[in-house]
């Protein structure tokens, strides 16, 4: 922790717009004053942007206008001037083809908005899965002082006396309906029971994982991740964050000071301890790229490998975010990592202190929610990174969500060429498949779907569900919802749509999975694999034609592989906060 605060007072960036008596300064001030602003708000105090992903079409973020008001209280109290602005809001639950296809669009919007606007620092308001990484990516590429407030999770779901979690029970009930164990009417009845309040998914899905990653990286105040959206303390978090960003501007404390390699390693270990979403892999790789940190899939395996999963939350465990908050939340987990020698304790946070200072005095209030290490859900909870001739650039699997007996497995491939092929055949009782087979799904990677859909946990064939089979080995280049579970190999790279080995797997091939050895192997000779790959071409495969125009074409042409974060190649790196020519 070598950060040295800047001198204060000093002339701020916003004064390039508002300072002086030039025609441009008067132009900028005068138009702002049409909102009824006293002159002294533009007199050199820190101007704080509130970057808001509020949208009624992003239901998980629909309460963020309220939180923005609380941020403003804090900014005013600390002597700053808050200004709220909207950015594109990718919603996991309503956006097609995938919210992931729009993460980079949101990040680009955020970056350009922060850089182009007359602000000195920014509060990032996010909640739903992609909004958190998108805002952190955009802010990192500008590198003005930035701090995140999450929207917080929904309250617990309850249905027929059972605790039910966002997403996790959607998958479970959907399988139950297909297995004939639940009626369609009951499924519809459960719908309203799952989403009882404002907020993001209440499981340790991607939204809660990414909120935890923001906190573990040091980009949000300690305790931010778990406070329920409707708890009054969520408003307090927004309020004190508003106060804090003003001081961060005075100190010139920037994302590049906080998002260091140590911070990313802390986040990776935290992900293992919480049983976090595999989506964190692509998002952290992309964020690291924005601040020029050399983070790779191997770092995920190296740092996460021996981390026990101690947070007993769905989808890996039994509780939900509400109980996690009551138990003490993420600070307790980070403290445990520190005690186990798995934390870079000096890693700087937005508070200006090292992360250990923030957590060393917290207490665990429920040892059934945040488990002692000896009772961990799994002793090796980090994301396993697999390699082999089927995934030369890597693939990932979440051990805490997998079936232990399937982690070493050899089986016959049943191949689906794309998601439409899967949907067309999976319910067919004549499909030649049994529980020992390996289901293979192609063309669902970043370029393939497009946007790397969360379909990797493809549902099992009904005829096997009816036999009581609840898990099989599945392999794809897709992602999986953070709320989902199963022995599912994801993010296989290179993806099928660019001619990775996954593209040439055929029905009947034998596939070997050995998670302990980190191995994923297609059991054909090297010569046979080379011949199949030489024969393959995007045109011949007929999958994923280049879109004729628009954002979809840009995405197709410039998205990178899952193993490097699926960012746009031209967005990697930090471009700073300098703006071009004046608009007038
Ligand atoms: Fe938005 Fe889960 S769908 S957080």
Q: Where are the domains of the chain?
A: 15-155+197-375, 158-194, 384-545
In angstroms, what is the span from residue 154 Cα to ligand 1's centroid?
10
In angstroms, what is the span from residue 339 Cα to ligand 1's centroid?
32
In angstroms, what is the span from residue 482 Cα to ligand 1's centroid?
10
- Kindly state the average pLDDT of the residues 477-498: 93
Tell me the angle at which helices 261-274 and 297-304 cross, rounded to the nearest 10 degrees.
Answer: 60
Query: Phi and psi for 50 in degrees, rounded to 5?
Result: -115, 105
In angstroms, what is the span from residue 131 Cα to ligand 1's centroid?
10
Residue 545, pLDDT above cutoff 60: yes
Residue 552, pLDDT above cutoff 50: yes
The pLDDT, as a whole number, for residue 457 is 92
Protein residue whose Cα sits closest to atom 1 of ligand 1: 128
Residue 50, pLDDT above cutoff 50: yes
- Ligand 1 closest atom vs CA 61: 1
CB 395, CB 493: distance < 8 Å: yes
Cβ neighbors of 33 (< 8 A, separation 6 or more) are 39
Length of the chain: 584
Residue 583, pLDDT above cutoff 90: no
Backbone Cα Rg of the chain? 24
Nearest Cα residue to 498 out of 547, 460, 546: 546
- The verdict on the CB of residue 92 being under 6 Å from ligand 1 is yes
Residue 194, pLDDT above cutoff 60: yes
The pLDDT, as a whole number, for residue 584 is 45
- The verdict on the CB of residue 128 being under 6 Å from ligand 1 is yes
Nearest Cα residue to 463 out of 475, 473, 455, 472: 472
DSSP 8-state code for residue 159: E
- The verdict on the CB of residue 200 being under 6 Å from ligand 1 is yes
Listed in sequence order, the DSSP H helices in 330-431 are: 330-339, 355-359, 419-425
Q: Which two tokens stand for residue 9?
A: 């007072």
CB 435, CB 472: distance < 8 Å: yes
In angstroms, what is the span from residue 57 Cα to ligand 1's centroid?
12
Nearest Cα residue to 439 out of 357, 502, 482: 502
Pairing of strands 81-86, 47-52: parallel
The pLDDT, as a whole number, for residue 186 is 93
- Kindly state the average pLDDT of the residues 456-475: 95
Best mutation site among 154, 200, 315, 484 for ligand 1 pocket (most ligand atoms within 8 Å of CB): 200
What's the pTM value of the predicted model, to 2 decimals? 0.97
Pairing of strands 488-493, 391-397: antiparallel
CB 443, CB 497: distance < 8 Å: yes
Residue 77, pLDDT above cutoff 80: yes
The CA distance from 338 to 356, in Å, is 7
Q: Where are the beta strands (DSSP E) in 315-466?
A: 384-388, 391-397, 408-416, 438-441
User: What's the Cα-to-Cα distance from 323 to each of 76, 366, 459, 472, rounded to whole Å?
Assistant: 33, 9, 29, 31
- Kindly state the average pLDDT of the residues 10-18: 97
Nearest Cα residue to 250 out of 73, 2, 44: 44
CB 99, CB 283: distance < 8 Å: no
What percent of the chain is predicted at pLDDT more than 70? 99
- Ligand 1 closest atom vs CA 482: 2
Q: Which two tokens stand for residue 533?
A: 């790959």
Mean pLDDT (the chain, rounded): 96
The CA distance from 539 to 142, in Å, is 39
The CA distance from 77 to 26, in Å, is 26
Residue 582, pLDDT above cutoff 60: no
In angstroms, what is the span from residue 166 Cα to ligand 1's centroid?
8
In angstroms, what is the span from residue 54 Cα to ligand 1's centroid?
13
Residue 580, pLDDT above cutoff 90: no
- Ligand 1 closest atom vs CA 91: 1
Protein residue whose Cα sits closest to atom 2 of ligand 1: 201
Cβ neighbors of 177 (< 8 A, separation 6 or more) are 183, 184, 187
User: In a 3-state reduction of DSSP, which class is residue 210?
Assistant: helix
Task: Output the DSSP codes for 143-184.
Answer: -S-EEEEE--BPPPEEETTEEE-TTHHHHHHHHHHHTTSS-H
The CA distance from 69 to 452, in Å, is 35
CB 123, CB 49: distance < 8 Å: yes
What are the tens digits of pLDDT across the range 270-281? 999 999 999 999
Nearest Cα residue to 280 out of 256, 307, 244: 307
The pLDDT, as a whole number, for residue 481 is 86
- Ligand 1 closest atom vs CA 92: 3
Question: How would you class 381 by CB atoms within 10 Å of its CB: exposed for 0-12, middle for 13-18, buried for 19 or more?
Answer: buried
Neighbours of 436 (CB within 10 A): 12
- Kindly state the average pLDDT of the residues 105-111: 98
- The verdict on the CB of residue 207 being under 6 Å from ligand 1 is yes
CB 363, CB 328: distance < 8 Å: yes
End-to-end CA distance of the chain: 42
CATH homologous superfamily of domain 15-155+197-375? Response regulator (3.40.50.2300)
The CA distance from 42 to 20, in Å, is 11
The CA distance from 424 to 215, in Å, is 42
Cβ neighbors of 116 (< 8 A, separation 6 or more) are 579
In angstroms, what is the span from residue 225 Cα to ligand 1's centroid?
14
CATH code for the structural domain at 384-545: 3.50.30.80
- The verdict on the CB of residue 201 being under 6 Å from ligand 1 is yes
The CA distance from 386 to 473, in Å, is 14
The CA distance from 377 to 383, in Å, is 14
Q: Show the CA angle centred on residue 359, arms to residues 201 and 326, nearest 5°.
A: 40
The pLDDT, as a whole number, for residue 2 is 81
The pLDDT, as a whole number, for residue 581 is 61
Upper half-sphere CA count for residue 16 (Cβ side, 13 Å) = 15
Provide the Cα torsion 392, 449, 153, 140; round to 10°.
70
The CA distance from 51 to 105, in Å, is 15
What are the tens digits of pLDDT across the range 341-374? 999 999 999 999 999 999 999 999 999 999 999 9
In angstroms, what is the span from residue 383 Cα to ligand 1's centroid?
21
């Amino acid at each position: 922790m070598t950060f040295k605060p800047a001198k204060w007072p000093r002339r701020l960036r916003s004064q390039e717009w508002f300072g002086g008596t030039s025609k441009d300064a008067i132009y900028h001030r005068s138009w702002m004053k049409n909102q009824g602003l006293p002159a002294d708000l533009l007199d050199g105090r820190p101007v704080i942007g509130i970057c808001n992903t509020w949208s009624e079409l992003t239901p998980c973020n629909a309460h963020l206008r309220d939180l923005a008001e609380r941020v403003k209280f804090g900014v005013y109290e600390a002597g700053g001037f808050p200004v709220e602005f909207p950015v594109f809001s990718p919603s996991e639950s309503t956006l097609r083809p995938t919210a992931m296809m729009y993460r980079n669009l949101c990040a680009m919007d955020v970056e350009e908005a922060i850089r182009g606007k007359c602000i000195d620092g920014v509060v990032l308001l996010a909640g739903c899965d992609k909004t958190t990484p998108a805002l952190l990516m955009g802010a990192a590429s500008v590198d003005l002082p930035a701090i995140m407030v999450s929207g917080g999770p929904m309250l617990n779901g309850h249905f027929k006396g059972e605790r039910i979690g966002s997403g996790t029970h959607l998958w479970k009930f959907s399988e139950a309906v297909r297995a004939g164990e639940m009626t369609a009417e009951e499924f519809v009845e459960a719908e309203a029971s799952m989403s009882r309040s404002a907020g993001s998914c209440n499981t340790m899905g991607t939204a809660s994982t990414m909120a935890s990653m923001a906190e573990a990286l040091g980009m949000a105040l300690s305790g931010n991740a778990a406070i329920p959206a409707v708890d009054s303390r969520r408003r307090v978090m927004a309020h004190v964050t508003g106060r804090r960003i003003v001081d961060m501007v005075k100190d010139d404390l920037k994302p590049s000071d906080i998002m260091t390699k140590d911070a990313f390693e802390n986040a990776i270990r935290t992900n293992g301890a919480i049983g976090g979403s595999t989506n964190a892999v692509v998002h952290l790789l992309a964020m690291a790229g924005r601040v020029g940190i050399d983070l790779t899939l191997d770092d995920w395996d190296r740092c996460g490998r021996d981390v026990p999963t101690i947070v007993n939350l769905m989808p890996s465990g039994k509780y939900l975010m509400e109980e996690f908050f009551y138990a003490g939340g993420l600070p307790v987990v980070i403290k445990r990592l520190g005690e186990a020698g798995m934390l870079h304790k000096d890693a700087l946070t937005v508070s200006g202190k090292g992360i250990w200072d923030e957590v060393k005095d917290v207490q665990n209030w429920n040892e059934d929610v945040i488990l002692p290490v000896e009772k961990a859900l799994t002793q090796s909870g980090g994301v396993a990174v697999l390699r082999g001739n089927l995934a030369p650039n890597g693939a990932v699997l979440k051990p805490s969500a997998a079936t232990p007996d399937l982690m070493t497995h050899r089986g016959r491939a049943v191949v689906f060429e794309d998601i439409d092929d899967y949907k067309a055949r999976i319910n067919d009782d004549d499909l030649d498949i049994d529980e020992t087979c390996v289901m293979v799904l192609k063309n669902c990677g970043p370029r393939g779907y497009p946007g790397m859909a969360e379909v990797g946990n493809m549902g099992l064939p009904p005829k096997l569900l009816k036999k009581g089979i609840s898990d099989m080995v599945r392999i794809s280049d897709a992602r999986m919802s953070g709320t989902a579970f199963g022995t599912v190999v994801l993010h296989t790279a290179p993806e099928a749509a660019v001619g990775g080995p996954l593209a040439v797997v055929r029905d009947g091939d034998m596939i070997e999975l050995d998670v302990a050895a980190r191995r994923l192997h297609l059991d054909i000779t090297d010569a046979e694999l080379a011949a199949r790959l030489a024969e393959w071409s995007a045109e011949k495969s007929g999958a994923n034609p280049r879109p004729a125009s628009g954002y979809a074409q840009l995405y197709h042409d410039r998205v990178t592989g899952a193993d490097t974060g699926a960012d746009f190649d031209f967005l990697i790196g930090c471009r700073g906060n300098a703006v071009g020519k004046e608009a007038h």
